[in-house]
């Protein structure tokens, strides 16, 4: 059949790859081990340029630079991110992997509630922002430029104008509602003083979702549905968070909630009830005497500083009225859409989560978004246990790879001691470290599993047979996705 | 165990989702069908705003707007992309799906040759471009702006300066070479006259890869390795392409190749040999009399217009010298890195591929990057065959979904005729259309499979039993990835 022959033709270039992935077939090709090794993630080939502050200089470094937070310093020291200008950061391979995991997690939960992914340009005509009234309300934090035809453009900090303008150009039927469109991409804000790395940067990655409903009741339903999805997202990320009533600020609208990671460096002051967990952002209530009793349940209110990582707004018709974004109602007449908008600071979640979890010298990631879940440290090249150990590693790798596919890194550097590899793996923050050392040559071989952030102390360091190690790690796989 | 209880706690919110994906378990939950339907892709919930030009107006529309190409008109008419300013495009859900497939395909092939994915900011200080000498060489096609501190910044059209500056700030060891770092993201260029939709836009998505080697020999090896990966990428995309010797232009460097899709609207003029396929871009050889015989094999040269979709450059030390991007050689002394850079126009591949493959009224996608591989059209709601047909659809969907996961859309609109659905599915360009019509109620039921772009005419329209349909489609699955 023609299709079959096209298929064969298309496949011929992929034979090597398929054989590698198939695993079992690999011996039939010469040089297979090299090919397999390439597809594996190895520390020797990982671009992770380290610039570690010596411990005795740590206090000095921390005092000098107030714009540095613990996470931003560690991300720089361990080659995770790299500053390329004041408030601008490159994501190096480990950060990129973390952001990709977070992106997939968010995609999944939003798709589950019917959101559709789109892409909007990073820049837009300033005319649209003049139309919504936001152009003149914003100062230099809104980045503007003139294009070659002298037309004023902006680098978007958010996309209400762009999306509402698109929606207004077609007639939506009531059957298409609610409509939920989102993207994950870069946003821009000219900060007076960027600080704390990706926590307050001039360019950052955000998930922004826009919803369109036929009336206020339906918009409220959508709002609650998205808040449920947010709960799943933040629960899955796994860092404790606080949801409080928010400030509607320049977005306009009638109802909003904020999601915060409680942290000492937080820019927002939250007042929340230790009984019923309700709370609000009191950053805006300046000089007001805060009521120290919860209005909902009478419980005691507590103050926490928080880093805002998510925000939901019920916008109403603020944008849809201006842009004439309508739908064709049941009576055949155009009616104004009710909108909502919902943000998650994607790079900020990564930065704030590591800020909350890390120590002064050790990066700690939420398991769900660690760059790799497992780091395997084989015996040192040339050591007595090398051959036996590598054999054990190969077996463990094959089996673990079934569950932790594309999520394992091997520290294959041949001139680095196991001790140094262990320290680096621990400080880079891999949640699971497997050390294959001298005891791998015992009649009943043992390997070491370290899970440094395990709550149960017994799990932080275990000596265990390779087979049980694999079984145990497969059993906790779902913590890592 | 603590980990186990955390796991259970984390999982509790995911029960519904897991049950849906598990498939078999779904009957134990009330309202399951609704939940399952949400996770399926359906035309009734797809944001695909159509603005179709009536056939009798087609010639007029084509004459009026010279900046419109066939693909850009069809992408607009079928709600795939949406213009949001001159040369700026939003990718609506179908375009976003196509770009995601292309992104995965590129990621896979580049990872297979050891490339590591990173993310670089979209903007950078103009100082870096002054340092490389490119700032003053470029006119208004380089978009510039002043930040709030009056510092000149640019919106990057490419990232040699950014990446070389990063590489120069750490000392690379010779063992880390070759180093291959890439990203997939938006680039900016102020076009005098943007045209042909995403083929020549002011903002577009590109894959840009930068390689670093210890010497010229090694850099040549890397160059050939990446060219091999490009061959796999373009073969897998599946559109016929022409690789020709390129112009090194403003990138500098000594060796370059271009990848073109031959097309009437192409901006480049290619001269290539019909015998040995070698060729070059003669756009730069102005007024020169072209030699009509191939220098390599003596074969006859032919002229073709092409749309450039990829470009590879051996850069040498042009950037690494300026930025002092060095590595520590075996003699312990810093030596200058040899660089290469490699681009693929991601949105341009999508636009140019559909430009080449489509007819005047029907969008045609390469199978590898069609937004959905399969569109299923069930019987009309309320028809005699509805109940039987939906039963058959459910079975087929479950089985096909094992192979075409997340790649099937069901046209579930209840007031649209099968005929209209079929026309729309065909024109939107889904490679496989399954129609479940009247013959689904026969004692030996039949469904219709349409593969409009099959080379074998027999495959363009087939009546076949549901079971054989599933088997056949599973057998050709590998054409679609």
Q: Read off the pLDDT of residues B99-127 as tens digits, 9 standing for 90 and up.
A: 999 999 999 999 999 999 999 999 999 99
Which pLDDT score is estimated for A12? 29
Closest partner CB to B2 (pick from A4, A165, A456): A456
Contact A94, A43 (CB under 8 A): no
Phi, psi of B137 (to 5 degrees): -75, -20
Which pLDDT score is estimated for A15? 34
Q: With an 8 Å Cβ cutoff, is B145 touching chain A?
A: yes
A85, A185, A326: which to substitute to probe chain B, counting the most B Cβ within 10 Å? A85
Q: What is the per-residue burial (b if ≥16 Cβ within 10 Å, else e) of B293-320?
A: ebeeeebebeebbbbbbbbbbbbbbbbb
Which pLDDT score is estimated for A282? 79
Rounded to a whole number of angstroms, the distance from the CA of A427 to the nearest CA of chain B is: 19
| Mean pLDDT confidence for B154-172 | 97
DSSP state of B171: -
Using CA of residue B169, residue B173, residue B177, residue B179, what is the dihedral sign? negative
Q: CA B354 to CA B309: how far, in whole Å?
A: 13
Confidence check: pLDDT of B38 > 80: no
Count of other CB atoms within 10 angstroms of residue A8 = 10
Q: Do A190 and B455 touch (CB under 8 A)?
A: no
Rounded to a whole number of angstroms, the distance from the CA of A458 to the nearest CA of chain B is: 10
Output the furthest CA–CA distance in chain A (Å, rounded): 83
Closest CA to B89 of A338, A124, A462: A124
Q: CA B23 to CA A401: how far, in whole Å?
A: 25
Which pLDDT score is estimated for A248? 62
Q: CA A77 to CA A48: how far, in whole Å?
A: 9
Q: Which residues contact A370 (CB under 8 A, 6 or more apart)?
A: A98, A101, A429, A430, A431, A480
- B152 CB neighbours in chain A (<8 A) are none
Contact A225, A119 (CB under 8 A): no
Q: CA A449 to CA A462: how far, in whole Å?
A: 5
B11, B116, B169, B337: which to substitute to probe chain A, counting the most A Cβ within 10 Å? B116
- B241 CB neighbours in chain A (<8 A) are none
- How high does pLDDT run on average in chain B? 88
Confidence check: pLDDT of B224 > 60: yes
Q: Which two tokens stand for residue A317?
A: 């018709």
Contact A247, A281 (CB under 8 A): yes
Q: Do B121 and A203 touch (CB under 8 A)?
A: yes
Residues B347-390 have pLDDT tens digits of: 999 999 999 999 999 999 999 999 999 999 999 988 999 999 99
Q: Do A186 and B121 touch (CB under 8 A)?
A: yes
Q: Which two tokens stand for residue A272?
A: 């929340």
Q: Do B122 and A122 touch (CB under 8 A)?
A: yes
May I ask the CATH architecture of the domain B95-357? 2-Layer Sandwich (3.30)
Q: With an 8 Å Cβ cutoff, is B118 touching chain A?
A: yes
- A92 CB neighbours in chain B (<8 A) are 118
Q: What is the per-residue burial (b if ≥16 Cβ within 10 Å, else e) of B184-206?
A: bbbbbbbeeebbbbbbbbbbbbb
Count of other CB atoms within 10 angstroms of residue B165 = 25
Which pLDDT score is estimated for B254? 75
Residues B405-440 have pLDDT tens digits of: 999 999 999 989 999 999 999 999 999 999 999 999
**Where residue B334 falls among pLDDT bands split at 50, 70, 90?**
very high
Q: Do A176 and B236 touch (CB under 8 A)?
A: no
Q: Do A124 and B88 touch (CB under 8 A)?
A: yes
Which pLDDT score is estimated for A406? 94
Phi, psi of A161 (to 5 degrees): -65, -45
**Chain A window 40-79: which residues touch B at a Cβ cutoff of 8 Å?**
44-47, 49, 51, 79
Rounded to a whole number of angstroms, the distance from the CA of A469 to the nearest CA of chain B is: 15
One DSSP character per residue, A131-177 reads HHTHHHH--TTSEEEE-TTS-EEEE-S--HHHHHHHHHTS-EEGGG-
Contact A200, A267 (CB under 8 A): yes
Which pLDDT score is estimated for B285? 61
Q: Which two tokens stand for residue B144?
A: 């510039």
Bigger pLDDT: A163 or B267?
A163
Least confident of A361-365, B176-180, B252-256: B252-256
- How high does pLDDT run on average in chain A? 88
Residue of B nearest to A80 (CA): B118
Q: With an 8 Å Cβ cutoff, is B479 touching chain A?
A: yes
DSSP state of A193: S
The burial class, CB within 10 Å (0-12 / 13-18 / 19+), for A224 is exposed
| CA–CA distances in Å: residue B215 to residues B174, B177, B220, B342, B375 | 10, 10, 9, 18, 52
DSSP state of B294: -
- B416 CB neighbours in chain A (<8 A) are none
Q: With an 8 Å Cβ cutoff, is A479 touching chain B?
A: yes
Rounded to a whole number of angstroms, the distance from the CA of B454 to the nearest CA of chain A is: 7
Q: Which two tokens stand for residue B237?
A: 């995309």
Which pLDDT score is estimated for A109? 97
Which pLDDT score is estimated for B264? 83
Q: CA A264 to CA A7: how far, in whole Å?
A: 58
Q: CA B237 to CA A368: how far, in whole Å?
A: 32
One DSSP character per residue, B377-441 reads EPPPTTSTTHHHHHHHHHHHHHHHHHHSTT-EEE---TTS-HHHHHHHHHHHT-SEEEE--GGGG
- B455 CB neighbours in chain A (<8 A) are 2-3, 6
Q: CA B305 to CA B152: how far, in whole Å?
A: 38
Which pLDDT score is estimated for B27? 30
Rounded to a whole number of angstroms, the distance from the CA of A308 to the nearest CA of chain B is: 22
Contact B337, B169 (CB under 8 A): no
Q: Do B148 and A95 touch (CB under 8 A)?
A: no
Contact A190, A141 (CB under 8 A): yes
Q: With an 8 Å Cβ cutoff, is B17 touching chain A?
A: yes
Q: CA A125 to CA A159: how far, in whole Å?
A: 12
Q: With an 8 Å Cβ cutoff, is A145 touching chain B?
A: yes
| CA–CA distances in Å: residue B279 to residues A200, A459, B226, B301, B343 | 50, 62, 19, 8, 19
Least confident of B51-55, B161-165, B178-182, B233-237: B51-55
Give me the tens of pLDDT residue by residue for chain A, a chain 481 residues long. 333 333 333 332 333 333 332 333 333 233 334 344 448 999 999 999 998 878 788 777 766 566 789 999 999 999 999 999 999 999 999 999 999 999 999 999 999 999 999 999 999 999 999 999 999 989 999 999 999 999 999 999 999 999 999 999 998 999 999 999 999 999 999 999 999 999 999 999 999 999 999 999 999 999 999 999 999 999 999 999 999 988 666 555 678 999 999 988 888 888 888 777 778 887 656 555 556 788 778 888 888 899 999 999 999 999 999 999 999 988 889 999 999 999 999 999 999 999 999 999 999 999 999 999 999 999 998 899 999 999 999 999 999 999 999 999 999 999 899 999 999 999 999 999 999 999 999 999 999 999 999 989 999 999 999 999 999 999 998 887 7
A415-423 long-range contacts, CB within 8 A, separation 24+: A415/A381, A417/A380, A418/A377, A418/A379, A418/A380, A421/A43, A421/A377, A422/A377, A422/A450
- B145 CB neighbours in chain A (<8 A) are 143-145, 155
Phi, psi of B305 (to 5 degrees): -85, 140
- B116 CB neighbours in chain A (<8 A) are 45-47, 93
Confidence check: pLDDT of B286 > 80: no
Residue of B nearest to A120 (CA): B90
Closest partner CB to B91 (pick from A49, A114, A119): A119
Angle between helix A70-77 and A346-357 (nearest 10)? 100
Domain ranges of chain B: 95-357, 372-480
Residue of B nearest to A192 (CA): B148
Q: With an 8 Å Cβ cutoff, is B121 touching chain A?
A: yes
Confidence check: pLDDT of B280 > 70: yes
* Residue count of chain B: 481
Domain B372-480, CATH homologous superfamily name and number: Anticodon-binding domain (3.40.50.800)
Which pLDDT score is estimated for B1? 34
Q: Which residues contact A227 (CB under 8 A, 6 or more apart)?
A: A257, A312
Confidence check: pLDDT of B18 > 60: no
Count of other CB atoms within 10 angstroms of residue B109 = 23
**Where residue B300 falls among pLDDT bands split at 50, 70, 90?**
confident
Q: CA A245 to CA A223: how far, in whole Å?
A: 14
- A37 CB neighbours in chain B (<8 A) are none
Q: Do A175 and B44 touch (CB under 8 A)?
A: yes
Q: CA A118 to CA B91: how far, in whole Å?
A: 6
Q: With an 8 Å Cβ cutoff, is A220 touching chain B?
A: no
Q: Do A17 and B170 touch (CB under 8 A)?
A: no
Which pLDDT score is estimated for B331? 87
Q: With an 8 Å Cβ cutoff, is B236 touching chain A?
A: yes
Domain A20-46+372-480 has CATH 3.40.50.800: yes
**Chain B window 335-394: which residues touch A at a Cβ cutoff of 8 Å?**
none
Q: Do B46 and A111 touch (CB under 8 A)?
A: no
Q: With an 8 Å Cβ cutoff, is B456 touching chain A?
A: yes
Closest partner CB to B13 (pick from A203, A235, A478): A235
Residue of A nearest to B212 (CA): A47
**Where residue B242 falls among pLDDT bands split at 50, 70, 90?**
very high
May I ask the CATH architecture of the domain A95-356? 2-Layer Sandwich (3.30)
Residues A209-261 have pLDDT tens digits of: 999 999 999 999 999 999 999 999 999 999 999 999 886 665 556 789 999 99
Q: Which two tokens stand for residue A322?
A: 């201006």
Q: Do A121 and B11 touch (CB under 8 A)?
A: no
Q: With an 8 Å Cβ cutoff, is A138 touching chain B?
A: no
pTM of the model: 0.91
Q: What torsion, rounded to 10 degrees, do the Cα atoms A396, A398, A403, A407 define?
A: 90
Q: With an 8 Å Cβ cutoff, is A278 touching chain B?
A: no
Residue of A nearest to B82 (CA): A166
Confidence check: pLDDT of B4 > 50: no
Q: Do A122 and B203 touch (CB under 8 A)?
A: yes
CB pairs under 8 A between A and B: 225
């Amino acid at each position: 059949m023609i299709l079959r022959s096209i298929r064969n033709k298309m496949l011929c270039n992929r034979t090597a790859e398929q054989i590698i992935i198939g695993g079992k077939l690999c011996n039939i090709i010469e040089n297979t081990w090299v090919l397999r090794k390439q597809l594996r993630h190895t520390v020797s080939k990982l671009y992770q340029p380290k610039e570690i502050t010596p411990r005795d200089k740590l206090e000095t470094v921390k005092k000098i630079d107030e714009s540095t937070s613990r996470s931003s310093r560690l991300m720089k020291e361990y080659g995770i991110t790299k500053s390329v200008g004041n408030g601008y950061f490159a994501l190096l391979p480990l950060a990129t992997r973390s952001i990709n995991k977070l992106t997939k997690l968010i995609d999944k939960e939003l798709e589950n509630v019917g959101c559709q992914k789109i892409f909007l340009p990073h820049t837009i005509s300033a005319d649209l922002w003049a139309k919504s009234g936001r152009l003149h309300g914003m100062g230099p934090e809104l980045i503007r430029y003139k294009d070659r035809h002298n037309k004023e453009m902006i680098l978007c900090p958010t996309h209400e104008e762009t999306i509402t303008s698109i929606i207004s150009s077609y007639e939506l039927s009531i059957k298409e509602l609610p409509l939920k469109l989102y993207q994950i991409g870069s946003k821009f804000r000219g900060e007076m003083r960027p600080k704390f790395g990706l926590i307050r940067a001039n360019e950052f990655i955000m998930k922004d979702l826009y919803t369109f409903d036929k009336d206020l009741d339906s918009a409220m339903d959508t709002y609650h549905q998205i808040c449920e999805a947010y709960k799943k997202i933040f629960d899955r990320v796994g860092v404790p968070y606080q949801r409080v009533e928010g400030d509607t600020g320049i977005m306009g609208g009638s109802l909003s909630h904020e999601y915060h990671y409680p942290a000492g460096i937080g820019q927002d002051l939250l007042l929340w009830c230790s009984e019923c967990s309700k709370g609000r952002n009191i950053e805006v209530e300046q000089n007001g005497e805060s009521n120290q009793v919860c209005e909902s349940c009478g419980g005691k209110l507590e103050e926490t500083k928080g880093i805002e990582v998510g925000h939901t707004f019920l916008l109403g018709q603020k944008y849809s009225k201006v842009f004439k974004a309508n739908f064709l109602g049941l009576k055949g007449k155009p009616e104004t859409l009710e909108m909502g908008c919902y943000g998650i600071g994607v790079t900020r979640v990564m930065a704030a989560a590591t800020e909350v979890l890390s120590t002064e010298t050790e990066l700690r990631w939420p398991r769900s978004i660690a760059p790799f879940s497992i780091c395997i440290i084989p015996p040192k090249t040339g050591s007595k246990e090398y051959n036996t150990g590598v054999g054990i590693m190969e077996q463990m790798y094959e089996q673990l790879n079934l569950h932790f596919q594309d999520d394992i890194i091997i520290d294959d550097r041949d001139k680095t001691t196991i001790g140094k590899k262990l320290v680096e793996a621990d400080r880079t923050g891999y949640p699971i470290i497997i050390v294959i050392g001298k005891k791998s040559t015992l009649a009943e071989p043992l390997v070491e599993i370290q899970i440094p952030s395990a709550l149960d102390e017994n799990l932080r360091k275990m000596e265990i047979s390779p087979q049980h190690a694999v079984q145990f790690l497969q059993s906790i796989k779902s913590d890592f996705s």
